[in-house]
Structure 1
Amino acid sequence: MRLSIIIPAKNESVGLRALLERTRRQCPEAELIVVDDGSDDGTGAFARDQGARVISHPMSLGNGAAIKSGVRAAGGDVLLFMDADGQHDPADIPRLLARLEQGYDMVVGARSDGSQASWGRGLANRLYNRLASYMTGHHIADLTSGFRVARADRFRPFLYLLPNGFSYPTTITMAFFRAGLAVAYEPIQAGRRKGKSHVRLFRDGVRFLLIIFRIGTLYSPLKLFFPVAALHGLAGLGYYAYTFSTEHRLSLATLFLLSSAVTIFLIGLVSEQITQLMYKDSDNPAPRAKPDAERPNG
């Protein structure tokens, strides 16, 4: 199989040198693509000098947009994604590829708790993982890891779903599970990033909070809408019981809570149908199944 390694980069000239050298030594035959997302520190020129194929954005379009540009340009049967900040160890690549050969459609490098950049980001990632595990019914060890390998014919049909900014790993993971494709997690130890982080605590914290809700609407909206509708319904019934026992009347608040419960449930039901149609694509390849055993996800 031909391997294409895609590295999105924005002002990452500090971390790229060691990463490109080690990656080239580890995978000398692989197609090495660096997507320069509007850098102003010479990242593209440096990567080109190191022998990588460089795709340049004239302005910063976002990490997801860089991933999409790299995937469209890649010629490999297998796509491997790495961050340009030096956190991912190219020595882990053979383990991810070996796991992929076991029949999986995507293998994700799952970071240990000690690999998180800060306790705040570690806590947020655990929240994302638990929510995504609830939505999919499968254990998700690392929802936001950018170190992953996937079969190109499985990945490309979902390009239209990926956001231009944050967070392509979240979206593609949920899309794979939603389509019934096999996803595995391989433990890795991520290092400290080289250079300045592009993540801002408040700005990106709000973005990631929105991603939590996007996960639900992307995968199975009814799993989010139904609990909210049930909460409104129970509150309405409880308040009705209270007002009837104390004042022998039906209050407007009770009517509002009960009607909103029905409305929320119906919105969730419609969203569920829209999601079904969004994933209904005749060109999307069906997952390969083992003949005599069901493949596990996780």
Structure 2
Amino acid sequence: MSADDIPDISVVVPVYNEVESLPHLIEAIATTLIETNLNYEIICVDDGSKDGSAELLKSLVQTHKNLKAVLLRRNYGQTPAMSAGFNYARGKVIITMDGDLQNDPADIPRLLAKLEEGYDLVSGWREKRQDAALTRLLPSKIANWLIGRVTGVELHDYGCSLKAYRSELVADMNLYGELHRFLPALAFIEGARITELPVGHHARRYGSSKYGLGRTFRVVMDLLTVYFMKKFLTRPMHVFGLFGIIAMALGTLLGLYLTILKVGFGQSIGDRPLLILAVVLLVTGVQLFSFGLLAELLMRTYHESQGRPIYRVREVVGGNVNNSKQREG
């Protein structure tokens, strides 16, 4: 592919049962991007819709030369759909947004302008969000606060799908589970410069929301995963080994205490709960330490098998750059 064939912008839109919204959304995106005079492509990923969205996308592709439809075999979820969009995107900048018309395509030029200030990721902030206060706004505020505290990336609105990424940043991130909501935190792990920008938000015009309180448990589990990745991805022994040593030390101290009681004072220790606790602590400590060693081996396999570096170089200045390339890792 020549440099002239590479779009300036790829707009990735995960779609699930949005047949009524799609024509309006694609038209609005195209109208906005034509005005920017930039080459663009729109990638709609149908995540197993059952309302005819896939069929509609097939017909829209015939009339919109910049539209690409990626049709998944079944409903996998928003994270796999977004990952598929990233894999098919060719643009230098990738914009993500929802397919329900609540995000405003008119904000895309503002995101691009902010990105040009030197950032790697610009996250939208739905400052005046048009959603139900009790079932959507309140849980969202709590989640944003919690995610910010745990990950160290303070944003007002993690849940806003309208974001702008540099393509090289997206190439460094692998998505699993429901990690799409933690993309800024994953980008931060890769050393990205992140900011946020207030964007418009509209009330839903068609269909019903796919989100609910039922996702709370999955969000918490994924948050723990992101926290572990941020803190211990390249040094898992530091967490497993630490707790293992603490458990073994406590078990050993309890064992010594019970030994003194038995040998020195002739007391019976066979029916003492402390004896069981000492044994459990020793066994648990050995297991945690072993888990740490296994995690270290898995971590090394993970990085080496994928050629994945343990650091990222932002820029090399001066000297003969072409002849001084170092192996990352």
Flag whether TM exceeds 0.5 (same fold): yes
> Counterparts of 1:121-270 in structure 2 under 5 Å?
121-158=136-173, 161-163=174-176, 166-170=178-182, 172-193=183-204, 194-202=206-214, 204-221=215-232, 251=274
CA distance in 2 between partners of 1:154 and 1:119 (Å): 35
Question: Do the aligned partners of residues 138 and 60 (structure 1) sit closer, same or farther apart at CA in structure 2, a change above 3 Å counting?
Answer: closer
Shift of residue 130, structure 1, vs aligned partner: 2.8
Q: CA deviation at 1:268?
A: 9.8
In structure 1, what is the equivalent of residue 262 of structure 2? none
Change (3 A) 1:190 1:282: same
> Counterparts of 1:264 and 1:120 in 2: how far apart (Å)?
42
Q: Deviations over 1:110-141 (max 9, x none)?
A: 22264444434333333333333333434222
Conserved 8 A contact 1:33-1:53: yes
Tell me the secondary structure at the aligned position of residue 27 of structure 1. Answer: helix
Is 1:22 aligned to 2:28, yes or no?
yes
Q: How far did residue 40 of structure 1 move?
A: 2.2
Q: Deviations over 1:200-240 (max 9, x none)?
A: 433x2322232232222232258xx79xx7xx99xx9xxx9
* Equivalent position amino acid for 1:287 in 2: R
1:104 is matched with 119
| Structure possessing the higher relative contact order (Cα contacts under 8 Å, 6 or more residues apart) | 1
Alignment counterpart, residue 38 of structure 1, candidates 28, 48, 57: 48
The answer for unaligned runs of 5 or more in structure 2 is 1-6, 255-271, 319-329
Matched, 1:85 2:91: no
- What's the TM-score once normalised by structure 1's chain length? 0.74
Over aligned residues, Cα RMSD in angstroms? 3.9
Q: What residue in structure 1 maps to residue 9 of structure 2?
A: 3
Distance in 2 separating the partners of 1:126 and 1:272: 34
The one-letter code of the counterpart of 2:210 is H
Q: 1:281 is aligned with what amino acid?
A: R
Contact 1:2 1:30 in 2 (8 A): yes
Larger radius of gyration: 2
Residues 220 and 116 of structure 1: is their aligned pair in 2 closer, same or farther, counting only changes over 3 Å? farther
Q: Provide the secondary structure at the position in 2 that maps to 1:75.
A: coil
The letter for the 2-side match of 1:123 is L
Percent of matched pairs sharing the same residue: 25
- Deviation (angstroms), 1:260: 9.7
Q: Residue 220 of structure 1 aligns to a residue in which SS?
A: helix
TM score, norm. by length of structure 2: 0.68
CA distance in 1, matches of 2:87, 2:168: 12
Aligned mates of 2:146, 2:289 — CA distance in 1:
22
Residue 313 of structure 2 corresponds to 286
Q: 1:209 to 1:285 in 2, by over 3 A?
A: closer
